A and B are shown apart, each in its own frame.
Chain A
Amino acid sequence: MRNTYLVFLRDYLGYVQAWGFWLGLLSMPLLILFGAFVGGLAASSSPVRYYTIVEDTPLYGPALQAEFKQSSEEMREALQTMTGIEALEGGTTAAAETALASLARFIQIPAPANTLEELRPWLLGDRLISGPDGEKSLFAAIIVDPETGDLQYWSVDATVSGLLDSLNRTVEDTTRAQFLRARNIDPGILEQADQTAPDIMERLVRSDKEAANIGAEITLADRAPRYIAIGLSYMLWFIIFSAGQYLLMGTIEERGNKIFDSLLTAIRLPQLLAGKLMAVLAVTVTMFSAWFLVGGAFLALGVSQMPDETRQSIQQIVSAGLDISIVVPTLISFILGYLIYGVIFLALGSLCDTIQEAQTLLSPMLILLMLPMVGIIFALEDPNSSIVAGASWIPLFTPFLLILRIPAEPPVWEIFAQITLMLVTAATILWLATKVYRAGAVHGAGVNDAVKWLKGFFPGKKSAAKN
């Protein structure tokens, strides 16, 4: 145990002292910050665009302006409800900020001419038009045919669709209202009709005791375990993905440094592997812990500003994550999943002399890792679907899919059986990987030797390497 600890400590300190670790540690908060600000930045960097509407009687013009105004108001209200901040001054969520900003980026200008031919110089930028944001070319012209009432949308940029989308909604609403008014029906009747639709009461069948305590209403507490499971499943995937590269590269370095013989006279191979696996796991756990701590600190700072409803939701999600029926199988899946994939990476690393060689092995490993992702996507839709239930019996998928299936309460025997399956798989892969690692580390075997050796396990094939 002591030597395993020493290998763990050396490897762990080696990793955390490397600049790559700190880069990885900082990358997540930087990514979040980037995500938070880049939206607003993109929106504010989006230029103000002028458009004009040529129509005999003002109809769509005012309606389009009203549409922009209403959308902006709705967005603002939604944001206030979500954050509890009364006055929406600074940026809050990137998506809302982007939407709000983009709505204000189209400004209607009185038409400088009435036909497309006459408007062409302004559209092509040969002439500029004055507006609230200074002189600019015309971004789009909407021309209403006075006879048929059809609309033509002319623009020099087909990639920006915000104005066209708003126009579509406006035309739909306006023509519907016109249609109803022509039949002496108040357009507001549609809204009234919507209000008469009966509410759908979503309820969960619970035991009498539970129902007596918390009622039948479905709350976030009922859905939180699923959200937690999804998060944990992705987290396991991410840990394996990042740890795999550490393990692969670390072993290559050790093989390159020709240090195995010295180590193996001081420590047994399984102890060495255990120390290495624990070190890399600890590195990723350190990274996640740091992220959670920073995230938790920000959450704690912001929680006082949040409305009670949001605060309760967060509490429900956190308490769902601490539920023992989720924590135990998840922890087991985590450990066994990491072990299964971790030793594969270690074994592969022991066969490679160079990073280039390792890169050729990384591709199949990435494909192998992408396969559970497909399973995760199916499980997001329905964790009880037959595809997910079936796929969860494939050992390499089990760690991810079992975590996802736990909130859907699969039969207990299935949980135990799948944990057993993972144990057997982990033991088998560990045995195989130790053999491969020994061949690589002690005998200097390469990738081709390992392939020959593995072929020896199949009938009719003869093992080439004796060790």
Chain B
Amino acid sequence: MIKVAHSDFSYDYFNTEDSPRLIIDLSQAEEEMREIRNIVIDPGHGGLEVGAKGKFGALEKDITLPISLKLKAIIERNLALRVFLTRDKDTNISLDNRVAIANNNKADLFISIHANSSFRKNATGSETFFLSMDATDEEARRLAYLENSSAALEDRIEGENEDEIKMILWDMAQAAYLQQSSQLAEFIQRELNLLLSTHNRGIKQAPFRVLTGVACPAVLVEVAFLSNPVEEKELLTERFQSRVAQAIYRGLLNFIKLYGQE
């Protein structure tokens, strides 16, 4: 029997019958990817926390919810996946609670939906973000620890009963998923560019609070600019909202095809 002790490699071996040979096939182990079952969609803002405001009075919270509901409907219509929303009505939910909803429902993908705003009126376009982290000082050590125990993260959280350990792990949970998050961002951004005629702003990284603690690939989509009067009007139309939901769905689908199959 052959035993390969190194976890970085996977191997296969077989005999050829016509010529007596033993072939050992060594390969780099693939990043462990769990099957995708649960998707959590996070409609940005809500309740008294209205988010960005447009010139004509559109509120970010009122745009993120219908897009999220449409996205949920499309996923449920086409895929055998469970979809959760962090809110399904106009209520105030803290960012940390949104993270808790995702992790408690064992989210395999997390998508936060927002509408953008800037200081200049002519800013346009959609962009998809994933988390940026500063790998310095004590954080680096935590990060390294997390990256090393990426696969074991979930077991650890379930196994350990101490709240404090949970808190520390969840505080930085996203560190273990940055690469997949960037891939997911890329897929979604590509579809947003194709389907919408909005200016491509590309994928970006930022230290968003709602992404930091999520223990699965996670992105934040900024759909057009409420600070731009032309885009504000578009954002309010059902047609535009449906197209955005459709684009995000296609991006998701491509990601699932690549990573999420058994």
Same complex origin of A and B: no
